[in-house]
Amino acid sequence: MTTPSPTRSSPPRLVNLIRRALLAVFLPAVLPPGYSAAPGQPNLLLIVSDDHGYADAGFQGAKDLRTPHLDRLAASGVRFTNGYVSHPFCSPTRAGLMTGRYQQRFGHERNPFYDPNDAREGLPLTEKLLPAHLQSAGYLTGWVGKWHLGAAPALRPERRGFAETYGFIGGGHRFREWQENVAVEYNVPIERNGQREPAPEHLTPAFGREAGAFIRRHPAQPWFLYLAFNAPHTPHEPTPERLARFSAIKDPVRQKYAAQLSLMDDAIGEALATLRDTGQERRTLIFFFSDNGGPVSVNGSDNTPLRGAKGSVYEGGVRVPFLVAWPGRIEGGRTDHRMVSSLDVFATALAMADVPMPTDRKYDGVNLVPYLTGEKVGQPHERLFWRNANLLAVRDGHWKLVRGAGKSDELYDLEKDVGEKNDVAWANPAVTTRLAAALEAWNKELIDPVFQGTAGRAGNAKKAKQKKK
């Protein structure tokens, strides 16, 4: 696990700004491959899809569905074949990327139960989120889409550092033609800056329009936009016209999934086109990834060639489509096989904004830009870790150790066996022992969940019902 070095010796922000200006003037002729001079504080666009299968994009090799806008983004940026999220469920991953820390360090290990009256059900207020840090550096911050980090007033995006907001607060939502009900998570009203908004005809295109409008409103001031789609999460409700485009797909669940994903791709395309039209593309750093692996048996997604799905700590639960693009600085059209994590968004964003990494707690992400420009070589991470209740895993280079409840530790050589089919722990006892020790040491740094979450509430309700019988 890589922890950013202390920042006490870092030069003041003014010196950083002067240094960047001098680099922009004097370095263009001697820049290393893949690098161009920094343009000052870049815009930061973070795009997250929901329950998106590893194989489900043109740039990942999909043949039965089309993602031309994501493919164009991949062609202009870097595609990571070993891009990971920090948890195999929606909300914990989002808590990790908003803090730059393994979310179990502060007890956010479950999807919070939707309860506007319970401030415990969500991302603890002890954590300062990425947008709040960026605001201190003069960034205009915006959120569009899905929140899923707590529904109580103190936990909402307007109170966690986002100046402009549009979307829904819960963990999922109907896409069209819903009956608004503040008590039903998937039917809650859409909100703008905390106030109820008229329901759009379809959520996915609406999120694309809102992202484009945000970009057009802010052509000069540096901004951070968190564009968090609920597509292609269920319930799949594509328009009939979009569904008809995928009539060649005979599985009806897969067909709806492909259509919903296509709508999201178009919405992403609208945001990216707005960057180009407003002249902001070359000064915008873009991240794209899914919040977890596809739940293949539920939504028609495809995690080929990986084992497992959403909820699992096998590769299919945590390895996701992962892109980074910055046309003005990072050479595009590349594939990178190094391990990177959603946790890296935080450290990368702060570094680009000239915000020192805080030193009051442990952070787990790294600034990826130097690795992408060639200023740094080697692996950004020595190890990555995962925990979902009693399921744990650690990856170290090409080795991965998986620990399940009541099972012997499993060891996989991902270089030879990306599908995690052949447990080779018996043949590599020293590696197994070393990774098990690292996993146990990491696990001791974490705390237990601090809220019951959706599963916990459901379990308690079931027990209460059985007790009455």
Structure tokens belonging to residue 303: 């995690």
pLDDT at 8 over 70: no
> What pLDDT, on a 0 to 100 scale, did the predictor assign at position 36?
44
pLDDT at 368 over 70: yes
Residue of 90, 108, 233, 381 marked active site: 90
Mean pLDDT of the region 316-334: 97
Query: Are 167 and 191 spatial neighbours (Cβ–Cβ below 8 Å)?
Result: yes
- Has 87 been annotated as catalytic? no
- Taking alpha carbons only, the member of 295, 329, 288 closest to residue 312 is 295
CATH topology of domain 34-381: Alkaline Phosphatase, subunit A (3.40.720)
Mean pLDDT of the region 58-77: 98
Q: Give 31's pLDDT tier (boundaries 50, 70, 90).
A: very low
d(CA 241, CA 253): 16
- Has 90 been annotated as catalytic? yes
Residue of 52, 69, 108, 148 marked active site: 148
More confident residue, 427 or 11: 427
Structure tokens belonging to residue 153: 């007033």
What is the rounded average pLDDT for all residues in the chain?
A: 92
pLDDT tens by residue, 43-57 = 999 999 999 999 999
pLDDT at 462 over 80: no
**Hey, what long-range contacts does 65-68 have (CB within 8 A, 24 or more apart)?**
65/246, 65/249, 65/257, 65/258, 65/261, 65/262, 66/262, 66/265, 67/261, 67/262, 67/265, 68/265, 68/269
pLDDT at 29 over 50: no
* Torsion sign across C-alpha atoms 310, 51, 440, 337: positive
pLDDT at 12 over 80: no
d(CA 448, CA 460): 18
Which range of 31-35, 375-379, 405-409 scores highest in mean pLDDT? It is 375-379
CA of 313: how far to CAs of 99, 260, 329, in Å?
21, 26, 34
Domain ranges of the chain: 34-381
Mean pLDDT of the region 262-269: 99
> What pLDDT, on a 0 to 100 scale, did the predictor assign at position 28?
40
Burial environment of residue 34 by CB neighbours within 10 A (0 to 12, 13 to 18, 19 or more): middle
Amino acid letter, 124 = P
pLDDT at 139 over 60: yes
> What pLDDT, on a 0 to 100 scale, did the predictor assign at position 152?
98
> What pLDDT, on a 0 to 100 scale, did the predictor assign at position 201?
96
pLDDT at 247 over 70: yes
Q: Give 294's pLDDT tier (boundaries 50, 70, 90).
A: very high
